[in-house]
Every structure is written in structure tokens, then in C-alpha cells.
Amino acid sequence: MKKLMSSFSLSVILGLSWILGYLLLIDTKGENRVLSIVFCLLTATQGLQIFILFTVRTSVFMKKTAELLTSISAPKVTLHQERYSLWKRLWNGPRERYKSTEEQSTSQF
């Protein structure tokens, strides 16, 4: 029964797109743009549909995906903990030092 349902599902996936392709051969003065768009979408996604039908829905795939997703952790990102300083040399004058916003002072050397 399982093999019969798999065969039926596969024939529906492949059959729908090619039935639309056959309907596109019927000349209706170029008014079948919607059918051609649907045909292109169905045939372009046949591989994805087969992957979802025969792989993603299996219990082994779901179990392995759940294990993978639980083992991935989000990185800890801390903001505004590092200090920085910028140096600016004037043409013939002293260097000015600009510190981070935490220390709002400037000093000259």
C-alpha cells in the first residue's frame, strides 16, 4: 500500500505539470500566460517537491534534523565593551588623541 501511494503521489506531481504543458499547446490567441507561468513553476520545482515528498517527511530525516537544530547554539555577541582610540597628527603641531565615547576627554602630546 505504501509503494502504491508513493507511485500515485509521484504521478500526480509529474502529471499535473505535463497536463498543463499539453493544455498550452492548444492555441487560444496567446491568452494562456497564466497557464504557462503555472507550468514553469511546477516543472521548475519538481525536484523540490520530490525531495519533500520522499525525504523530508520520513521519520529518520525529522529526527536527524531535530538533533542538528538542538546542537546549534546562537553566538553570544557583546556590544560596546572594547575601548578604542584614534590618533590625529596635525601638520607641524602636536598629536591629538581621541578616546572612546566612554571617556569624553581629549589630550594633546
Kindly state whether residue 8 falls inside one of the protein's structural domains.
Answer: yes
| Residue 104 clears pLDDT 50, i.e. is over it | no
Kindly state whether residue 106 falls inside one of the protein's structural domains.
Answer: no
Kindly state whether residue 101 falls inside one of the protein's structural domains.
Answer: no
Kindly state whether residue 52 falls inside one of the protein's structural domains.
Answer: yes
Kindly state whether residue 95 falls inside one of the protein's structural domains.
Answer: no
Cβ neighbours, 10 Å, residue 49: 17
The SS3 assignment for 108 reads strand
> What integer pLDDT is reported at residue 64 of this predicted model?
92
Higher pLDDT, 30 or 92: 30
Chain-centroid distance, C-alpha 76: 22
CA 18, CA 40: separation in Å to the nearest integer? 10
Take residue 44 and report the three cell numbers written for it.
521548475
Domain of residue 20: give its range.
2-71
CA 66, CA 100: separation in Å to the nearest integer? 44
CA 14, CA 43: separation in Å to the nearest integer? 8
Kindly state whether residue 102 falls inside one of the protein's structural domains.
Answer: no
| Residue 15 clears pLDDT 70, i.e. is over it | yes
Kindly state whether residue 82 falls inside one of the protein's structural domains.
Answer: no
- Structurally, the chain folds into a number of domains equal to 1
Q: Exposed (0-12), middle (13-18) or buried (19+): which is 41, by Cβ within 10 Å?
A: exposed
Q: How confident is the model at residue 103 (pLDDT cuts 50, 70, 90)?
A: very low
Kindly state whether residue 78 falls inside one of the protein's structural domains.
Answer: no
> What integer pLDDT is reported at residue 87 of this predicted model?
58
